[in-house]
Amino acid sequence: MRRANGRLALSLVLVLLGFLVVVQLRSQAADAGLNALSVQELGELVANLTTRNNQLRDEISTLQRQHDSVAAAVERGGTSAAQMRADLNRVLGWSGALGVTGAGVRVTVDGTLPGEEVEFLLNELRNAGAEAISIGDIRVVPGVVVTGPPGSLVMSGIPLAEPLELLAIGQTDTLGGSLSRAGGPIAQLAVRYPDVTVSVTGLDRIEIPPTDRNLQPVLGRPRL
Amino acid sequence: MSGLAARIRAIPTWQITLGVALLGLGFLIAAQLASEGPRTRYTTQERVPLVATALDLQAEQEGLKDRILALRASIGDLEATGQGGAAVTTDLGDQLQRARVASGLVAMTGPGLVIQLSDSTAPVPPDGIEREYLVSGQDVLTVVEELWLAGAEGIAVNGERITAATAIVDIGGSVLVNSAYVAAPYQVSAIGPPDMLDRLTRSAGFVDFIRGRVEMFGIGVGQSVSDGVDVPAYAGSVNLRYGRPAPSPTPDTGRGSPVPTESP
């Protein structure tokens, strides 16, 4: 009896120990970074997370409608070909496999920048919610990277013509404001490259072509 | 003396184990309390609710992402159920699955490598800038770009899949990937060809990164080559709110094929 009580006590302590180890490791990993942030940076982080969560809620609404539509079609003994086509077009357009048209901005770079600074602009456009981006006639998709020194930029093995022109579909004010804000990318580039001028123009209609890359993985396989 | 040894031997094994476990417990409680100390001193009235809100939002985000993945899986199952041999929908179902795989909406596994970036352990000199000794969003972005150039076909950073819409940004010393807060160490997982590591280490851009960040500031870089690298599915929005898919002349799902949206 005494031995059984001892084992029970030992088990409880070990469970508590394991729990505390996990709590300690998780709190160290998550909070260490947050506690290094200033109040302003924390505010920016909260704004980013809020925006992302709102986008995720929109996506859930879309998927829920799609789910209900497909479920209703299946219940009727049929299929939802129209819904599947719409979903297919949405996924293809988003991924870059299909061209996209819509409102957005044209970013013109007068002067020469190195590849990493063009990537800096692309990253900023994505962060501002760009839904599709192209440079010249090349769609920016995963795997496409702008490289090279100023004046000799290459993208997907193709030399980029100057002046460089980036097109991005998205909310015009947000895209433009993100690039042009005080201390933003354009201001930073103006400091680093005084001879380069980056301008942003809002447009009601932009056409962004599909990628000519095959996006299908060759080596990877779906994980079940 | 022999009496003491005999008494020690007489102690049941479980009591010794319990003693060691209690010692560990005490140590952990002390460590937890000690780690709370400086944090409490550092925090201000404004910071506490902001940190709590950020953690709550991050936790909420995890739940929303799980919901998206579950809905996508459920839709896929329903579509498969409803295909019922109808050639048109079977074909559409196949195209959808291929499109989802190509877009990063499906978790993948395959050969590749994992690059781990960790903050420097080198002491910051008196005239140094502390943030330069931490892994930045730009560091993560550079490694991701170099992996693409080395032939990667699927990449994830700390469980966030890199897609056409992914931005990797810094806020202070923290990194956001797909607007999700990720903490160091950063694991960049890439599926790609067997010689990907060789291509990576021969790339001028990666060599510059090693010289500028690893050798100069002591940023930690580790790598692990594996036949079974996992990259998760992208769990974000794929909605086009401002753009509409446009007709394309290219007739393949992997590249882009317009699909009429009217009912048959």
- How far is B190 from B151, CA to CA, in rounded Å? 9
- Is residue B129 in some structural domain? yes
CATH of segment(s) A100-208: 3.30.70.1880
Least CB–CB distance from A94: residue in B58, B68, B240 = B240
Domain final residue pick, B59, B78, B103 = B103
Q: Does B177 lie in the same domain as B121?
A: yes
Higher-confidence residue of B131 and B224: namely B224
- Is residue B154 in some structural domain? yes
Element (H, E) at A196: none
Domain membership of residue B26 as a residue range: 2-36
Residue B264 binned pLDDT confidence (cut-offs 50, 70, 90): very low
> Do B51 and A88 count as a contact with CB atoms less than 8 A apart?
no
Number of domains into which chain B is organized: 3
What's the predicted TM-score (pTM) here?
A: 0.78
3-state secondary structure of B54: helix
From the list A211, A84, A68, A193, the residue with the least C-alpha distance to A136 is A211
Contacts for A7 with CB less than 8 Å, ≥ 6 apart = B14
Higher-confidence residue of B8 and B48: namely B48
Judge whether residue B16 has pLDDT over 90. Answer: no
Element (H, E) at A161: none
- Is residue B251 in some structural domain? no
DSSP secondary structure, A32-100, as one string: HHHTTS-HHHHHHHHHHHHHHHHHHHHHHHHHHHHHHHHHHHHHTTS--HHHHHHHHHHHHHHHTSSEE
Kindly give the interhelix angle for B47-83 and A2-34, rounded to the nearest 10 degrees.
100
Residues of chain A with pLDDT under 70: 1-3, 21-32, 78-79
Q: Does B16 lie in the same domain as B88?
A: no
Q: Does B113 lie in the same domain as B99?
A: no
- A-contacting residues of B 73-102, CB under 8 Å? 74-75, 78-79, 81-84, 86, 88-89, 92-93, 95-96, 98-102
Tokens coding A146: 């702008």
- Is residue B57 in some structural domain? yes
Amino acid type, B123:
P
Question: For B175-191, what is the mean pLDDT?
Answer: 93
* Number of neighbouring beta carbons within 10 Å of residue B39: 16
Element (H, E) at B10: helix B2-10
- Is residue B43 in some structural domain? no
pLDDT at B20: 77
Running DSSP on this structure, what letter comes out for residue A160?
P
- How far is B244 from B262, CA to CA, in rounded Å? 15
Per-residue pLDDT tens for B24-73? Answer: 777 777 665 554 443 333 456 777 888 889 899 989 999 999 999 999 88
Interface test with A, best of B71, B78, B101 (most A CBs within 10 A): B78
Q: Does B134 lie in the same domain as B166?
A: yes
Give residue limits of the domains in chain A: 39-94, 100-208
